Amino acid sequence: MEIVIVGSGGREYSIGLGLQKECRIDGIYFYPGNGATSRLGKNIDFANEQEFIDFALNHQIGLVIIGPEAPLVEGLADSLRENGILVFGPSAKAARLEGSKAYMKEFAKHYNIPTARFIQTQEYAEACAFIENLNLPIVVKADGLCAGKGVIIAESYEEAKRAAKEMLEGKSFGDSGKTIIVEEFLDGFELSIFALCDGKDFIVLPAAQDHKRLLDKDKGPNTGGMGAYAPSPLATPQIIEKVKSQIIAPTLEGMIQEGNPFSGTLFCGIMVVKNEPYLLEFNVRFGDPECEVLMPLFKNGLLDCFLACAKGDLKNVQFELESKMCVGVVVASKDYPFKNSPKEKITIESLKEGTESHISFAGVSKVKEYLYASGGRVLVCVGKGDNIQEAVKNAYTQVESVKFNGMQYRKDIAYQALGKQ
């Protein structure tokens, strides 16, 4: 079988790496891929959706896996399905769980899913009235997709009102901020919980923890994620059970009732407060860099999981996970996340045979036989181990093998898990 992975990041590279082990796969295409995915398969590109559909039909593509949220929200999965092509990823209507925070919050309220108290509004006066009734800090969010930037945590009432005003006037996030959500701040620790869903059934993968801030000790600006690890010891079996019964199961049930069953990856951004999980947000795809630490935990059955989700047959799926820890350290370019950095040539030393580590490539381009850092988050160094210390050591050994001008990375990935052992 030949498959296509849509996307160009480290997430898509890691899915390709995970699937490369599957002997039933004869070839992997990346649409459009990056400078390193061409080592795992073939990069392809098209002028429009119809060209892609024609390609998939002509090549009898057995499965399309859609990595990023934008094509999902725009309905790529629907167009492929209408043409009889098997797809891993939700329909546009189901992808609204990520595409519209207002939709997701109203959905959570309707189906009694625990989430922060909120209002959604298009009126400044209404936003102000709600703001005045909340304790500080106050969270103000733009409704639509904002590449992870549409959330302001305001430390004063003035700042909250200013954020609301700028969003509503379309100044900060364009049309994405024409509707806003104002909500109470939840004080706890965050977990990323991923459920593979087929519309009615789901399986939960090991809980991951992301590190969103740029600098050590969770300082500096928010980023797409500077590192992750899984499984997180902070996610106790009781918390996972609550996430399943109070968040994931009612979501799948609710989406059936709404007439838009959810299939694909349901990424639950959770805040745990006093042992109770609250839903911060849904994403309808794997997290990046969380995906890079989840894929290597599959011993077997990854392709079967994707196929079963796509076919609606998850009940009968067989798969096995490794009982290991996995840590991913993002190596970013000099000016990330503020602006684009100049392209820099990357060199990588080979490591001793048997080191349990590898690289998932993200913002890289290829010129002749060389790789250049060309994006913000350039690559993710992934280490595995029998315990968290070993996995951290293996990930940072891999980081030390990488050299390019201006590279930056956090030195404390998985510190919360290390503190627990």
Contact residues: ligand AMP, CB under 6 A: 116, 139, 141, 151, 183, 185-186, 190, 212, 269, 271, 280-281
Q: One-letter amino acid identity for 247?
A: I
Q: How far is the CB of 281 from ligand GLY (least distance, A)?
A: 9
4 binds, among ligand GLY, ligand AMP, none (CB under 5 to 8 A by kind): none
290 binds, among ligand GLY, ligand AMP, none (CB under 5 to 8 A by kind): ligand GLY
Q: How far is the CB of 190 from ligand AMP (least distance, A)?
A: 6
Q: One-letter amino acid identity for 346?
A: I
For the CA atoms of 269, 271, 276, 282, what is the dihedral angle to 10 degrees? -20
| Token pair recorded at residue 104 | 């997701």
Q: Does 89 bind ligand GLY (CB under 6 A)?
A: no
| Token pair recorded at residue 179 | 């509707």
218 to 237: interface string for ligand GLY, x by CB under 6 A: ------xx------------
CB contact at 8 A, 286 and 210: no
User: Which of 100-108, 174-182, 286-294, 300-308 is the region at the interface with ligand GLY (rule: CB under 6 A)?
Assistant: 286-294
**SS3 of residue 149 by DSSP:** coil
Segment 398-403 long-range contacts (CB within 8 Å, at least 24 positions apart): 398/329, 398/351, 398/355, 398/357, 398/358, 398/359, 399/329, 399/331, 401/348, 401/349, 401/350, 401/351, 402/331, 402/346, 402/347, 402/348, 402/359, 403/346, 403/347, 403/348, 403/349
Judged by CB under 6 A, the chain residues 126 through 155 that form the site for ligand GLY are: 148
Backbone angles phi, psi at 216, to 5 degrees: -55, 155
Q: Does 12 bind ligand GLY (CB under 6 A)?
A: no
DSSP assignment letter at 405: T
Which residues on adjacent β-strands are paired with residue 367?
A: 370
Q: How far is the CB of 210 from ligand GLY (least distance, A)?
A: 5
Nearer to ligand AMP, 12 or 98 (CB): 98
Q: Does 290 bind ligand GLY (CB under 6 A)?
A: yes
- Return d(Cα 209, Cα 191) in angstroms, integer: 5
Q: Does 337 bind ligand GLY (CB under 6 A)?
A: no
User: Could you give the residue ranges of the DSSP H alpha helices within 323-380?
Assistant: none
| Token pair recorded at residue 269 | 């951004």
Nearer to ligand GLY, 198 or 288 (CB): 288
Nearer to ligand GLY, 131 or 268 (CB): 268
288 binds, among ligand AMP, ligand GLY, none (CB under 5 to 8 A by kind): ligand GLY
Nearer to ligand GLY, 390 or 412 (CB): 412
Which is nearest to 71 in space by CA: 99, 102, 43? Answer: 99
Nearer to ligand GLY, 78 or 210 (CB): 210
Preceding peptide of 277 cis, ω within 30° = no
Q: How far is the CB of 42 from ligand GLY (least distance, A)?
A: 26
Nearer to ligand AMP, 46 or 189 (CB): 189
186 binds, among ligand AMP, ligand GLY, none (CB under 5 to 8 A by kind): ligand AMP
Q: Does 198 bind ligand GLY (CB under 6 A)?
A: no
- Cβ of 331: how many Cβ atoms within 10 Å? 26
280 binds, among ligand GLY, ligand AMP, none (CB under 5 to 8 A by kind): ligand AMP
Which is nearest to 127 in space by CA: 184, 181, 88? Answer: 181
Return the residue nearest ligand AMP (CB atom).
Answer: 281
Q: How far is the CB of 102 from ligand AMP (least distance, A)?
A: 12
Q: How far is the CB of 354 from ligand AMP (least distance, A)?
A: 36
377 binds, among ligand AMP, ligand GLY, none (CB under 5 to 8 A by kind): none
Percent helix, percent strand, percent coil in the chain, to nearest 5: 35, 30, 35
- Cβ of 72: how many Cβ atoms within 10 Å? 28
Q: Does 287 bind ligand GLY (CB under 6 A)?
A: yes
The correct pick among 12, 98, 201, 288 for binding ligand GLY (CB under 6 A) is: 288
383 binds, among ligand GLY, ligand AMP, none (CB under 5 to 8 A by kind): none
3-state SS track over 215-281: EHHHEEEECCCCEEEECCCCCCHHHHHHHHHHHHHHHHHHHHHCCCCEEEEEEEEEEEECCEEEEEE
Q: How far is the CB of 158 from ligand AMP (least distance, A)?
A: 19
Binding footprint of ligand GLY on the chain (CB under 6 A): 148, 210, 224-225, 283, 287-288, 290
